[in-house]
Structure 1
Amino acid sequence: MTADTGSFPLPGKPGKGSFNRKRPEPRDVLPEAILARIRQYSGRVATEAVRSMEEQLPYFADLEASQRASIQLVVQTAVVNFAEWIENPSNVEYTVASFQTVPQDLARRVSLRQTVEMVRVAMEFFERWLPLLARNEDQLIALTEAVLRYGREIGFGAASIYASAAEARGAWDSRMEALVVDAVVRGDTGANLLSRAAALNWDPVASATVIVGNPPPDQNVSVAGSVHDTARSHGRSALAVVQGTKLVVIVSGAVTSGDPFAGALMPHFADGPVVIGHTTPTLEDAHASAVEAIAGVNAVAGWPGAPRPVHSWELLPERALIGDTHAGRTLYELLVKPLEEAGSALSDTLDAYLDSGGAVESCARELFVHPNTVRYRLKKIAEITGRDPQDPRDAFVLRVAATIGRLAAANPDRFTPAAMTRITDISLN
């Protein structure tokens, strides 16, 4: 069954009537005298077109005098180029050249939508003025059609210029973003850090959290844009870059494992561990968060059942086991020292309980106390440390911390605060 096309002539099929009659090109109808008059009156036409913009566009009056003068120059160039374009309509240089005279400050001040509105007002003025130059009907038709076609090409030219500018700005922003993230990872928190971050719309007083994982294999560089979109939808700011084999993301505000924002970020990482560093007051302090997150990524293999994402402080024992002395010091300060200050009974009970394999009765016999006394002391240990010795994971954390405590007591010179706060290697490879 064939569609009924009626009498409407389809492309490639011969038709009747004036619809298919080839119209002459404007240059074949318009004499050189008319083109010369267009060039001659270009300045006056540009002035009148700009006046129309002032009357119709409210924001035009807010522009500086130099910016309005630049717009008038653009319009005058477009009028002169119209005469040249009539000579060769297929040459797109005549439509794009008008916007090549735009200063950078004006391009940043005027949006694409505003540019389109100014083009519309200018072309409406041309449509009223140019036909007045015609001396007969053929010239009138040629001028009218030419200005419509030229206006369309001018619009495409404006869109092309703004698209190129957006691509250049995007590439510049990507390089700037890489510099900021690299500075945070390396700890180069100089004066340039906040100024560069501000250029990327980062709030200088916002807190910062670093998240590290593997980039998705099918995105790599483009993943940064996806991270930005997700952060923006949750009212956050984000910086993201692929460094080596890792995706490093810095987000504003705190991030918790059960936070919907954290869950929304996970699809931007490849399958595998994702580690969250602690939240720092400002971006200038975020190096500490980066160190913890990267150290966690290097150690997370030691905990096959680690949640995704996992906070770096949950990986303190694994980090200590691979030589992260800062993690060892933190375990000592958070777990060992409070128990020591609470009295030797709790520390002795913890050691005996862990050595007995978590059997309360065996621990009680070892200490010569009632099992309920052991249970009471275990409850006190959980209250003081926040770790329950009867939980397998917490028992492992307490075991590593207790071992560090014994090593610190036996080797006081090697376990001084200065020695144990050394930053470990934060290689991303």
Structure 2
Amino acid sequence: MNDRVREDTARRLEKAMGALGTAAMARMEERLPWFRALSAEDRSWIGLVAQAGIAGFVEWFSHAADERPAPSIEFFGTAPRELKRSVSLQQTVDIVRVIVEVVEAQVEDLAAPGGLEELEKAILRYTRDVAFAAAQLYAREAEVRGSWDARLEALIVDALVRGEVDDGLHSWAAALGWTSSPVVVLAGFAPDDDPRAVIDSLRDRGRRIGLDLLAGVQGDRLIVIVGGATSIKDAARGVVSKFGPGPIVIGPEVPDLHAAAKSARAAVAGLRAAPAWPDAPRPVLAEELLAERALDGDEDARAQLIDTVYRPLAGTPLLDTLATYLEQGTSLEATARLLFVHPNTVRYRLRKITELTGYQPTEGRSAFTLQVGLILGRLSGIQPG
């Protein structure tokens, strides 16, 4: 195409820009259901983007073929940031495709005599390069958004572990789209993989099993917050394989993210105390490590043991029965002799202790927990009578 034909075609394109933009909007309204669902304001912004895209093509075409720069996608900057976040790459491609269809439908009228073939080739090259450039733009923004999301995720996990729950945490969680309940926190050791790869793997796992997951690697420790599981067992099943070797502790289920600091505190305390029970199951509930956590200095565990073991028994014959039974090596006959009661009376009292505390004195782990709770109650200064 000689310069005169190209210049004549460029002038025709420039004169037709308004009509092309209007036709493109009408075609989008007709062809794209997602476009019709937008607000009038958002549709207006997309109209401006379409006009800017057509203007960008006209300006690009006005250069000689061997001097044309790489097509610019700065026209996407016409729209506000909020709209760019809500319009996906596929929808952007839909917009470009509609504009191309509109221009191609009128290409014979737009091209100056002798310029039809060159205009068609220019349209194909321009739209191809714009599509690639748009894909690169979305990829870059996805990387930036991913890095920002990762920082928010780390802040949320750190805040919950520290117990610093405030309005900021809810804002961060909302930015990540977190709405799930109930919530469970798991603590264990991180695998040797790169921390970013570990977190990405957990996110992928969460998407596949339909759960919300937030995770953070803190030194050698991996903290995972699971939302939306129907049970603690389901929450654990989905993520246990992502931890490294060693114990995994599950905090108690809580109703929402605001209360998750309690679950995180119990899980982390349980992870610290887990070496005291080498044969613990994997994963293990933080509730099953109450005695070890209390001995390790966990005030929450100490208070819980006093409330669940000592207080229900204080001031009743059950307390003396339990103390004697444990001191006598869980011997029923020896306990009965020291208390001057029938062995059946001891059996009855032991059943009552189980009903009141949830721990069975005749079972090894439960007896150990009851012993620690009894000692803590005595040290607390609570009067038994």
The alpha-carbon distance between structure 1 residues 48 and 186, as it changes in their structure 2 partners (threshold 3 A), is same
> Where in structure 1 do 4 or more consecutive aligned residues deviate above 6 Å?
26-30
Look up the match of 1:307. 281
Contact 1:81 1:95 in 2 (8 A): no
Q: Report the 3-state secondary structure (helix = DSSP H, G, I; strand = E; otherwise coil) of the residue aligned with 1:308.
A: coil
Percent same amino acid among aligned pairs?
A: 42
Counterparts of residues 80-99 of structure 1 (less than 5 Å): 80-83=58-61, 87-88=65-66, 91-92=69-70, 94-99=71-76
The 3 A distance-change label for structure 1 pair 307 and 131 is same
Report whether the alignment pairs 1:181 with 2:157: yes
Moved more, 195-204 or 229-238: 229-238
Q: Distance in 2 between matches of 1:387 and 1:86?
A: 87
- CA 1:363–1:88 in 2, change beyond 3 Å: closer, same or farther? farther
Give 1:67 deviation, angstroms.
Answer: 0.8
Asked if the contact 1:131/1:144 (under 8 Å) is kept, the reply is no
Higher mean C-alpha deviation, range 103-112 or range 229-238: 229-238
Q: Does 1:280 align with 2:254?
A: yes
CA distance in 2, matches of 1:387, 1:27: 94
Residue 240 of structure 1: SS of its match in structure 2?
A: strand
Please list the CA deviations of residues 124-167 of structure 1 after superposition, one character each: whole Å capped at 9, or x if unmatched.
Answer: 2222333441533xx43333233223222222222222222222
Matches of 1:134 and 1:255, distance apart in 2: 67
Task: Report the TM-score when normalising by structure 2.
Answer: 0.86
- How far 1:87 moved relative to its partner? 2.7
Code of the residue aligned with 1:180 in structure 2: it is: I
Listed one character per residue, the Cα deviations across residues 293-324 of structure 1 (whole Å, up to 9, x for unaligned) are 21111111111111222222211111111122
Q: Which residue is 1:236 aligned to? A: 211
The code of the aligned residue for 1:337 comes to: R
Q: Partner of 1:76: helix, strand, or coil?
A: helix
Q: Is the 8 A contact 1:131 1:140 kept in 2?
A: yes
Instruction: Supply the AA of the counterpart residue of 2:145.
Output: R
Cα deviation for residue 83 of structure 1 reads 0.6
Using the alignment, how far apart are the partners of 1:182 and 1:319 within structure 2? 21
Listed as ranges, the gaps of 5+ residues in structure 1 are 1-25, 416-429
Task: Report the equivalent of 1:10.
Answer: none
Number of residues of Structure 1 aligned to a counterpart in Structure 2:
379
Deviation sequence 1:264-294 (CA, Å, 0-9, x none): 1101221221222223333222222222221
Deviation of 1:85 (Å): 7.0
Task: Quote the residue 1:247 is aligned against.
Answer: 222
Partner SS for 1:294:
helix
SS at 1:127 equivalent:
helix
Select the residue among 341, 361, 365 that pairs with 1:393.
365
Counterpart of 2:119 in structure 1: which amino acid?
Answer: L
Q: State the distance in 1 between where 2:177 and 2:158 align.
A: 17
Greater C-alpha Rg: 1
Using a 3 Å threshold, how does the CA distance of structure 1 residues 313 and 43 change in structure 2: closer, same or farther?
same
- Partners of 1:241 and 1:90 lie apart in 2 by 48
Q: Which residue is 2:87 aligned to?
A: 110
Greater shift, 359-368 or 347-356, is seen at 359-368
Shift of 1:331: 0.9
Pair 1:143–1:386, CA change in 2 (3 A): same
Q: Indicate the residue corresponding to 1:212 in structure 2.
A: 187
> Any idea what SS the aligned residue of 1:272 has?
coil
- 2: CA distance between counterparts of 1:242 and 1:42? 54
Deviates more, 1:144-153 or 1:56-65: 56-65
Secondary structure of residue in 1 paired with 2:255: coil
Deviation at 1:366, TM superposition (A): 3.8
